[in-house]
Amino acid sequence: MSESECFEQQWLCPGTLFQRATEGPQSPFHHILPKCKLARDLKETYDSLCTTGVVRLHINNWLEVSFCLPHKIHYVATNFIPPEAIERSLKSIRPYHALLLLNDEKSLLNELPLDCSPALVRVIKTTSAVKNLQQLAQDADLALLQVFQLAAHLVYWGKAIIIYPLCENNVYMLSPNASVCLYSPLADAFSCQFRGHNLPSMLAKFSLPVSLSEFKNPLAPPVQETQLIQMVIWMLQHRLLIQLHTYVCLMVPPNEEEFRAQDEDMPFTARVGGRSLSTPNALSFGSPTSSDDMTLTSPSMDNSSAELIPGGDSPLNKRMTENLLASLLEHEREAILNVPAAQNPEDLRMFARLLHYFRGRHHLEEIMYNENMRRSQLLMLFDKFRSVLVVTSHEDPVISVFQSLLK
């Protein structure tokens, strides 16, 4: 190989090109940057994508260009969240969720472009941590679907997160990713925001799951309760707390004789793949069933459309109850019917109507919204059928991705 060919091969090498362009004495970039604004804008775009993941600039001081890499904004500890996980969570937003802004209203409005949607401004001004998206749509005089889109836009850009509206029945606990250092910047910011309170002592109150009702003091002035709500909102904004929801799963142990008979008669592939509601696998969060697909305007679900006639124990009600229980195995039906509360037709009808929620995939607040029921009604029903129901508490997988830390 001749000397000229070796020189040409080195010159065409991408690594050599980049090194010559950035470090070589003849680099044109050092001459272009001071003279060309477009070159400076391109450099700023590249640097912003590499550092913050957010690009906001104006080409020729006129045309605005904005772009966001969600996996550069949302991350848990040191692990980045895949964009696909964020997209799945955004598609799972429901009317009973709430929008929590991560910055104050004034600073967020100042960041908006001049030609932004007036509906977005209205949502930002109207949103509240104690107001669900359905109420927000009514107060802002917007369609619920439009509120969903605007809420997803704010979350995608890291300006807000999705939570469940604050109420006294909400259960919170300390996040495993929370910083508990005594002299952290967060502790200083908390002390400046709430005079007379310190962050470590406040976080200590949430070391174990606790509901907000336990902090309620009927003799305390209303300003104290307002301050508590503001402190909880501040800790949620800084990812220091996570909310736990109540999930219910039907768990009936099979009879040993029936289990042996089924195990012998059933093919091996069916024994491995086939699962009933009573198996522990029903607690896993796999792909959602058709009953998980809610409409945006109606709180009802497909499986709850079989409304039972209130009142007496009519033959129609009996047939409906039997049809709802028909999807269960024989030993599961027997166990349910042997519960003392099953002797009450009203309780049995309500249990059968809610049966499709007892798979460990629907939390208590979702059932309340979908079925338009009170919390006390559901808790009483769970207690009556506690011998066949397993109650657990954990995060909502739909919004748990938003409980991660932000840069």
Our measurement of the distance from residue 166's CA atom to the centroid of its chain's CA atoms, rounded to an integer in Å, reads: 14
Going by pLDDT thresholds of 50, 70 and 90, the confidence category of residue 316 is low
pLDDT at 127: 94
Instruction: State pLDDT tens for residues 166-194.
Output: 999 999 999 887 877 777 888 889 989 89
pLDDT at 170: 93
The predicted model gives 9-28 an average pLDDT of 51
Task: Choose the most confident range, by mean pLDDT, from 23-37, 44-58, 147-161.
Answer: 147-161
pLDDT reading at 224 higher than 50: yes
Instruction: State pLDDT tens for residues 354-381.
Output: 988 998 889 999 999 999 999 999 999 9
Q: What pTM did the predictor assign?
A: 0.73
Give every CB contact of residue 330 below 8 A, 6+ residues apart in sequence. 258
Instruction: State pLDDT tens for residues 79-125.
Output: 667 778 788 888 888 999 999 998 888 989 888 887 888 999 999 99
The predicted model gives 239-257 an average pLDDT of 84
The predicted model gives 23-52 an average pLDDT of 79
Task: At 266, give phi and psi (nearest 5°).
Answer: -85, 140
Tracing tokens 């929620």 back to the chain, one arrives at 357
Q: In the structure encoding, which two tokens stand for residue 123, read together?
A: 């949502």
pLDDT reading at 14 higher than 50: no
pLDDT at 163: 92
Residue 302 class from Cβ within 10 Å (0-12 exposed, 13-18 middle, 19+ buried)? middle
pLDDT at 221: 85
Q: 99 near 160, Cβ under 8 Å?
A: yes
pLDDT at 229: 92
* Best CA proximity match to 399, nearest among 199, 151, 104, 209: 151
pLDDT reading at 202 higher than 50: yes
Q: Is the dihedral of CA 191, 195, 196, 202 positive or negative?
A: negative
